[in-house]
Amino acid sequence: MSATSPTTDSAAPLSTETDADAGAVLAALEDADCRTILEATADEALTATELASRCEIPSSTVYRKLEVLTDADLLEERIRIQMGGKHASEYCRRFEEITISVSDPDGVSIDAPARESGALSD
């Protein structure tokens, strides 16, 4: 049996207040491995080991991409608590959909409403 403990506020929407924030999101979305990980975490939270196996991506690459995706606020890192005492980080996508807009005065804006609590099967 396992339980999940969020380590961030999953109810907060994605924030792109600076061009650097938007750049981080766009760079992550441009990367094929990052997109594969986002697709895999759409319905359930997965550990890095589970992602490496399911996505057929080397573990070292998965860890690098998880850092990129969490830094861009596209993934939420949570703790999976095991009854045996061994805990693991698991990752879930923070949004259902993402909208990217480009306008003259504001530059790039990204809207990614946060998932509702309980949207994932744990």
Q: Which sequence spans correspond to the domains of the chain? A: 2-111
Q: Could you read off the pLDDT of 14-66 as tens digits, one per residue? A: 555 556 688 899 999 999 999 999 999 999 999 999 999 999 999 999 999 99
pTM over 0.85: no
Long-range contacts, stretch 96-103, CB < 8 angstroms, 24+ apart: 98/14, 98/25, 98/29, 100/26
Long-range contacts, stretch 15-18, CB < 8 angstroms, 24+ apart: 15/73, 16/108, 16/109, 16/110
- Domain 2-111 falls in which CATH fold? Arc Repressor Mutant, subunit A (1.10.10)
Under 8 Å between Cβ of 54 and 40: yes
Which whole number is the average pLDDT over 92-108?
A: 82
Which whole number is the average pLDDT over 85-107?
A: 85
Which whole number is the average pLDDT over 5-20?
A: 52
